Amino acid sequence: MSFGFQFDDSEMDEEYLSSSNAPFQPSTSPTTQQTSTSDQAPFCEHSLEDMLEHLPSRISYSSIDISLSSGSGSSQPYKLLRRDLFDARFQMLLDEDDHSNSQVDTHSDLIPNVYEGGLKTWECALDLVEVLHTHSTTDHKHILELGCGTALPSLFLFSNLLASSNRAGVTLHLADYNAQVLQLVTLPNLLLTWYASPAGSHYRSLEASHRSHEQQELSRRGQEHFATDEAELAITDELLAAFSESLASRGIQVKIYSGAWSGFPQSLVAGKMDLILTSETIYSLESLPALVELLGRYAGGQVLVAAKVIYFGVGGGVESFKQVLAQLHPTARVEPVHSVTKGVGRTVLSVTF
pLDDT at 98: 58
pTM of the full structure: 0.83
Query: Within a domain: residue 162?
Result: yes
Q: Is the pLDDT at 186 greater than 90, yes or no?
A: yes
CA dihedral (199, 202, 206, 208) positive or negative: positive
Query: Within a domain: residue 13?
Result: no
* pLDDT (tens digit per residue) in 211-242: 655 565 556 556 555 555 568 999 999 999 99
Ordered strands of the 170-176 beta sheet = 44-46, 252-258, 170-176, 142-146, 273-279, 299-308, 346-352, 333-340
Taking the C-alpha atoms of 260, 160, 194 and 53 in order, what is their torsion angle to the nearest 10 degrees? -30
12-15 contact pairs (CB < 8 A, 24+): 12/120, 12/121, 12/122, 12/123, 13/62, 13/64, 13/82, 13/85, 13/120, 13/121
Query: Within a domain: residue 230?
Result: yes
What mean pLDDT is predicted for residues 259-280? Answer: 95
The CA-based angle 225-227-231, given to 5 degrees, is 120
Q: What is the CATH number of the domain that holds 162?
A: 3.40.50.150
Q: Is the pLDDT at 172 greater than 70, yes or no?
A: yes
Q: Is the pLDDT at 113 greater than 60, yes or no?
A: no
pLDDT at 139: 83
Query: Within a domain: residue 34?
Result: no
Under 8 Å between Cβ of 152 and 36: no
Query: Within a domain: residue 3?
Result: no
Domain span at residue 162 reads 44-68+76-97+112-352
- When the pLDDT of each residue in the chain is averaged and rounded to a whole number, the result is 82
Q: Is the pLDDT at 325 greater than 50, yes or no?
A: yes
- 3-class SS at 88? helix
Query: Within a domain: residue 4?
Result: no
Q: Is the pLDDT at 271 greater than 70, yes or no?
A: yes
Which is nearest to 48 in space by CA: 188, 232, 210? Answer: 188
Query: Within a domain: residue 26?
Result: no
Q: Is the pLDDT at 45 greater than 70, yes or no?
A: yes
Tell me what percent of the residues of the chain surpass a pLDDT of 70.
76
- Which residue type is seen at 318? V
* pLDDT (tens digit per residue) in 77-87: 899 999 999 99
What mean pLDDT is predicted for residues 154-170? Answer: 92
The greatest distance separating any two alpha carbons of the chain, rounded to the nearest whole angstrom, comes to 72
What mean pLDDT is predicted for residues 32-47? Answer: 72
> How many domains is the chain built from?
1
The band of 67, judged by pLDDT with boundaries at 50, 70 and 90, is: confident
Distance CA 102, CA 108 (A): 13
Which is nearest to 143 in space by CA: 127, 130, 161, 125? Answer: 161
Q: Give the chain's length.
A: 353
pLDDT at 166: 83
Distance CA 105, CA 196 (A): 30
